[in-house]
Structure 1
Amino acid sequence: MPCRVHLCLLVMSEPTTSRVELRHLRSFQAVARLKSFTKAASVLAITQPALSRTIRQLEDILEVTLLDRSTRHVELTGAGQTLLDHVERSLAELDRGIAAARRESTIRLGFSWLLPDPWAQDTVTRFERATGTTVDLVRIDDPLTAVQQGQVEIALVRGPVRIPGLRVVHLFDEPRVAVCSVRSALAKTAQLAWRDVPRWPLVVNTISGTTGPWSWPANEGPTAVVETTNFDEWIESVAADRGIGVVPEVAMRRNIHPAVRFIPLRDAPPIPVALVFRPHVHETMLRHFVDIALTPEDARS
């Protein structure tokens, strides 16, 4: 007979438990801790009537009164205190599990060359600390195609993006500088005007380069173009004095090649820098990454 009662209780309790949702427990915990529906609603970012309905639903499901609302401050009933003890332990364990799972998750940030500094280091560090998610940095010649094909979740791209179906978030603009071989006649030039760049053969990275004949109005760009398809080919062609190149100013702060020299450019249009990703793919995680990327470190306080 006791065995039958025990089985009966299990059968009866199962549908009751399945009707209790996480929102019920989070709401109950907040009200129980703060002893106020008003304060709990503010913390949970919901309206007080919605919170009251949620607590009432939980009491109806469990068929017990959890909170004594007759006094000025909300107080726990005996049943409420018993439930709170279990809820606190269960939610704490759940939060630890979620944090552990996030530590195992990653997003891949694709880039073609030289991530901007200190933006990249700051953004990746803050995102990993805030979420527990690891950011894998993936050097790839064509980051836009990598995003389209799902090889990376998000990519940093310089220059205009004209591919439909991708979401583009502008971050900032980078100044341009010219780069030439140390053997070039330009190597001792203190400054170069943007309008004078087309007078020299221009080395272009056709896959992910930021400057090419398309950077000038029709019939105003360089007539001699040396085409390459990746950064290594591009920098070696410049070092070999086959032409000059134009790159973001960040390259001046890196020792990218001992056989090239950088020349400041006057009146050059800046290079737009953006994050590109597919909409509705890892949406919450990528939205968080973009929010951090758009917020300077000194603006977080």
Structure 2
Amino acid sequence: MDLQLRHLTAFVTLCEAGTYTRAAARLHIAQPSLTRTIQDLERILECDLVARPSRQLELTANGELFLQRSRAILTEVNELQAEMRTRSQVRVGFAWLLPSDWFAATRARYEELGGQVTIHRTDDPAAALHQGIIDIAVTRNANQPTAAITWRRFGTEQRVLAVSARSELAHAAGLRWADLAKYPLVVNTQSGTTTPDCWPDPDPAREIVTCRNFDEWIELIAADRGIGAVPDIATHRAPHPDVVYRELPDIPASTLYLGWRRTPPPPRHVRRFLDAALAAADPDQ
């Protein structure tokens, strides 16, 4: 049998507790099991660590030396374990256009702790969470409630109208969001932010053109199949030669959500990322 960390842990705990009974209780093992572990340790080292016979726990000279070195080793192992855990990689999934300022601040906070962040583009972040492909989902659409995922609102984004460059709306003067309730609407059903319910009195006869990701959505807008709305970061992050983005005075904002698995509970490195993410969030959320 080779020397193992469990032998060091058992011996140090025995020395600190002062008796086999108290040490066994701290280690959550039976006293005979602890006694055998100490005896195995002495056989491995080929020397006595505990003086015998003795009514109180007394260490031999070898035992004193072994205690000192064991404590140093266990401290170093614990520090190494803690350091490696903080360097654990967190996989962040998103459907399209990560919110720039928030993500930059979050990544900086987490990487200051020694962690690493990888990003994964996926049409369905909720499904990727369920499948264990990602640890954290960033989405603007949390319309898939489930007992297995916790969704936390962490910010809002101002939206802009998106229309085809060929549309009459591209340069119409005095345009307002309320004026657009009857125009055909392009809806990204998987990860979009705009639905007919974004208007006070949805028109049941309104033409709805559906798609399932941002790439399809922007091409449908460019083709003048309908209008849409996206966060204003699209104006510089997703320009398109055939799409015009317009600011409107009454356009509603969109909401940002973080999602993570509730079962099983997130490990410590994911919780550390969440702390960094929520610290960088909009304080009004």
Q: One fold, TM greater than 0.5?
A: yes
- Give the CA deviation at 1:125: 2.6
Q: Which of 141, 145, 149 matches 1:163? A: 145
Aligned partner of residue 99 in structure 2, secondary structure? coil
Q: CA deviation at 1:155?
A: 0.3
More helix by share: 1
For residues 292 and 175 of structure 1, do their structure 2 counterparts lie closer, same or farther at Cα, with a shift above 3 Å needed? Answer: same
- Find 1:173's aligned residue among 156, 175, 182: 156
| 1:151 has 2:141 as partner | no
Q: What is the deviation of 1:126?
A: 1.8
In 2, Cα distance between the equivalents of 1:190 and 1:129?
Answer: 48
Instruction: Please state whether the residue corresponding to 1:236 is helix, strand or coil.
Output: helix
- Closer, same or farther: CA 91–220 of 1 in aligned 2, 3 Å: same
Unaligned runs of 5+ in 2: 24-49, 51-56
> Which of 10, 32, 37 does residue 18 from structure 1 map onto?
10
Deviation at 1:192, TM superposition (A): 3.5
Candidates 256, 279, 282, aligned match of 1:295:
279
Structure 1 stretches of 4+ with a deviation exceeding 4 A read 14-17, 58-62, 79-86
Amino acid at match of 1:18: A
Aligned residue pairs total: 242
Higher relative contact order (CA 8 A, sep 6+): 2
Q: 1:89 to 1:121 in 2, by over 3 A?
A: same
Deviations 1:49-73 (A, max 9, x none): xxxxxx96268758369xxxxxxxx
Q: Which letter does structure 1 place at the counterpart of 2:134? A: V
Q: In the TM superposition, what is the alpha-carbon distance from 1:275 to its structure 2 partner?
A: 0.4
> How far apart are the structure 2 equivalents of 1:155 and 1:171?
12
Q: Check the 8 A contact 1:158/1:210 in 2, yes or no.
A: yes
Partner Cα separation in structure 2 for residue 232 and residue 255 of structure 1? 10
Task: Provide the C-alpha distance between the structure 2 equivalents of 1:265 and 1:81, rounded to a whole number of angstroms.
Answer: 76
| TM-score for both structures, normalised by structure 1 | 0.68
Cα gap change, 1:207 to 1:162, in 2 (>3 Å):
closer
Structure 1 residues 97 and 236: alpha-carbon distance in aligned structure 2, compared to 1, 3 A threshold: same
| % same residue | 36
Q: 1:290 offset after TM fit, Å?
A: 1.5
In structure 2, the residue matched to 1:271 is 254
Question: For structure 1, which runs of at least 5 residues remain unmatched after alignment?
Answer: 1-6, 25-54, 66-78
Mapping of 1:1-301 within 5 angstroms?
A: 17-18=9-10, 20=12, 57=17, 63=57, 83=67, 86-100=70-84, 103=87, 105-130=88-113, 132-165=114-147, 166-189=149-172, 192-217=175-200, 219-220=202-203, 223-279=206-262, 280-296=264-280
Aligned residue identity for 2:139? V
| Worse overlay, 170-179 or 89-98 | 89-98
Cα distance per residue 1:97-149 (max 9 Å; x no partner): 5434654x32221111000011112212321331x332221101111122122
Distance (whole Å) between structure 2 residues aligned to residue 92 and residue 15 of structure 1:
16
Q: How does the TM-score come out when normalised to structure 2? A: 0.71
- CA gap 1:292/1:192 in 2 versus in 1, 3 angstroms: farther
